Amino acid sequence: MNRKLVVASNNKHKISEIKDILSKLNIEVISLREANIDVDVEEDGITFMENACKKAQVIFDMLKGGAMVLADDSGIAVDALDGAPGVFSARFAGEHGNDKKNNEKLLKLMEGKQNRKAKFVCAMVLFINKNTVIKVQGEVHGVVAEELKGHEGFGYDPVFYIPQYGKTFGELSSTIKNTISHRAQALSKLEDAFKEYLQEE
- CA gap 30, 28 in Å, rounded: 7
**8 Å CB contact between 193 and 134:** yes
Closest by CA position to 80, among listed 105, 120, 119, 116: 116
The DSSP-derived string for 146-173 is SS---SSSSTTGGGEEETTTTEETTTS-
- Angle, helices 182-200 vs 12-21, to 10°: value is 50
Alpha carbon distance 62, 60 (integer Å): 5
- Residue of 20, 44, 73, 82 marked active site: 73
| 73 among known catalytic residues | yes
Residues 48/186, Cβ–Cβ less than 8 Å: no
Cα separation, 141 vs 160, in Å, equals 9
Q: Catalytic amino acids?
A: 73
